[in-house]
Amino acid sequence: MKKLLILPALLALAACGSPAPAPAAKDADPALWVVKDDDTTIYLFGTIHALKPGLSWFDEGVKQAFDKSDSLVLELVLPPDAELQALVGEIGFTPGQPPLSAQLPAGEAMKMQAALAAAGQPRDGLDAMEPWLAAVMLANLPSQQAGYEQKDGAEAVLTAAAKAAGKPVEGLETAREQFGYFDRLSPGAQRALLVETIDGLPKGAETLDQIVARWRAGDADGIAKLINEDLADSPELAEALLVNRNRHWADWIAGRMKTPGTVFVAVGAGHLAGGQSVLAELSRRGFSVTRVTY
């Protein structure tokens, strides 16, 4: 299992990280789709929430589509740090619960503590958290250490461009909703997610590199394969993080098609890949989705 992979890939809130050394500039040509009728155009762009500095992707067809758009729609608009931290404290901790390390098999607890120590963090730094929040925090460690930064992720770049151009920015979800997907998982699913995340830490950077490589090449099928493999044994997690959200977003897009204008919708690339993607849901609703060539 590579459960670690899907957390930064599928949730914007799971991609927050710390800076690391920048690599040399590289070109990327990620996939872009469009849905349109006589008076409405909606571009659909798959993002990576945290990227390494120096990657050149906001150009050519992507930039042209963005420039034509009247507004930007993201998975969510991140709240101020203080509000986000208060939300984490409200949802991610349960007073009186046993230390998290005591809830895990001894071997898994030791692996978790060793990973935290290697990252320069207290070995018991996650003990007060609910298992899902600990999994999210752990999932960030390899991406941080490998040089992935949220400030260089697609959402941050697009948001800055929208503000500079005076385009409105809105979110399909709120931070509370995104955390809620995890918080509503059954206790067993949360613990399984944490264990799988711990076990995936040694290859975490490698698996994230794989999905970014496919994203750079515009390989939606390759991204779908990685995501589907990752979620194959976790139907509860797949429904919560992927399938249900894709249906809701497809409903939103279908509704927005009734209003004239041009919109640039940017959501995690995993949501625009595979048979249960937003694109597939739109097709089931009778919309024609076209890949933009550039």
Mean pLDDT of the region 231-238 = 81
**Predicted pLDDT at 154:** 95
Bridge-partner residues for 290, per DSSP?
34
- The torsion region of residue 54 among left (phi > 0), alpha (psi -120 to 50) and beta comes to left
Q: What is the domain partition of the chain in residue ranges?
A: 3-15+24-89+147-183+203-276
pLDDT per residue over 114-166, tens digit each?
999 999 999 999 999 999 999 999 988 888 888 888 899 999 999 999 999 99
Q: What is the pLDDT of residue 146?
A: 87
**What CA–CA distance (Å, rounded) separates 272 from 221?**
10
> Average pLDDT for residues 3-13, to the nearest whole number?
56
List the beta bridge partners of residue 140.
Answer: none
Using CA atoms in the order 262, 268, 273, 279, what is the torsion angle rounded to 10 degrees?
-30
Stretch 232-238: mean pLDDT: 82
β-strands 55-56, 26-27 pairing: parallel
> Sorting pLDDT into bands at 50, 70 and 90, what band is 5?
very low
Q: How many CB atoms lie within 10 A of CB 87?
A: 17
Alpha-carbon distance of 20 to 240, in angstroms, equals 31
Instruction: Let me know: does 9 contact 136? Beta carbons within 8 Å.
Output: no
Whether the per-residue pLDDT at 20 is higher than 50: the answer is no
pLDDT (0 to 100) of residue 143: 84
User: Which residue pairs from 180-185 have beta carbons closer than 8 angstroms and sit at least 24 positions apart in sequence?
Assistant: 180/91, 181/11, 181/240, 181/241, 181/245, 182/132, 182/133, 182/135, 182/136, 182/240, 183/91, 183/92, 183/130, 183/132, 184/240, 185/132, 185/236, 185/237, 185/240
Q: Side by side, which strands form the sheet with 261-268?
A: 169-173, 71-76, 261-268, 40-47, 32-36, 290-291
pLDDT in tens, 52-61: 998 999 999 9
Structure token digits, residue 218 = 């515009």
Spatial distance between the Cα atoms of 261 and 85, rounded to a whole number of angstroms = 36
Distance CA 277, CA 7 (A): 17
| DSSP reduced 3-state for 160 | helix
Please give the backbone phi and psi of residue 84, each rounded to the nearest 5 degrees, phi first.
-65, -45
Q: Has residue 288 got a pLDDT over 80?
A: yes
